[in-house]
Amino acid sequence: MIYGLQAALSLTYAWIKAGHIIFVMFWIAGLFMLPRYYIYHQESAPGSAEEKKWIERERKLRSIILTPAMILVWIFGLMMMWTIQAWTMHWFQLKFLLVLGLSAYHGWMIGYGRKLARGERPVSGRALRLMNEIPGLAVVLIVVLVIVRPF
Ligand code: HEM
């Protein structure tokens, strides 16, 4: 009986982990795309029909993919954190700081999209290109932490 319960719980855990990784992929894919859209957006003439298309594409990417994916990654991640009491592990503590940073980056990018939609363009294309490297770097560090667990 206990054996059966344990088997059921670990199967559930495996499904939660699968969900976590699936939505990590959607989230990160969206984070790779959004600043790219902003770069193309800023190359269009202010007020043009092309700019309006970019505003709409950005809005859809944010509301259909990025934000729901981030929320699901957090929900599944926190469920696993709770189950394995991950906060006691050093690799997880650093991972947690990195995912907080990535979520802040996400929030900043959402805010920047709202500014663009209002016709403001406060950041240069070059700076956006540099910022576009941040999610890639975060993925490298996070995956090494969760898979290699160096400490
Ligand atoms: C947003 C908050 C997040 C939380 C709270 C969280 C938490 C967790 C926890 C507790 C595990 C379980 C580890 C285990 O069972 O050994 C896990 C697994 C994993 N996480 Fe996250 N995670 C988050 C975001 C991310 C992100 C952004 C990525 C990738 C960039 C990621 C990649 C992974 C991978 C690849 C695994 C599987 C590791 C394995 O096979 O054991 N996670 N996560």
Write the residue with the smallest CA distance to atom 28 of ligand 1: 24
pTM value > 0.85: yes
Instruction: Name the residue with tokens 């319960």.
Output: 5
In the chain, the number of structural domains is 1
- Of 17, 77, 111, the C-alpha closest to 9 is 17
Query: Is residue 75 lining ligand 1, measured as CB closer than 6 Å?
Result: no
The number of C-alpha atoms within 13 Å of 109 and in the hemisphere containing its C-beta is 32
Domain membership of residue 76 as a residue range: 2-147
Structure tokens at 113: 């999209």
Query: Which residues have C-beta within 8 Å of that of residue 83, sequence separation ≥ 6?
Result: 13, 16
Q: How far is the CA of 20 from the centre of ligand 1 (A)?
A: 7
Structure confidence at residue 4 (pLDDT):
79
pLDDT in tens, 71-130: 999 999 999 999 999 999 999 999 999 999 999 999 999 999 999 999 999 999 999 999
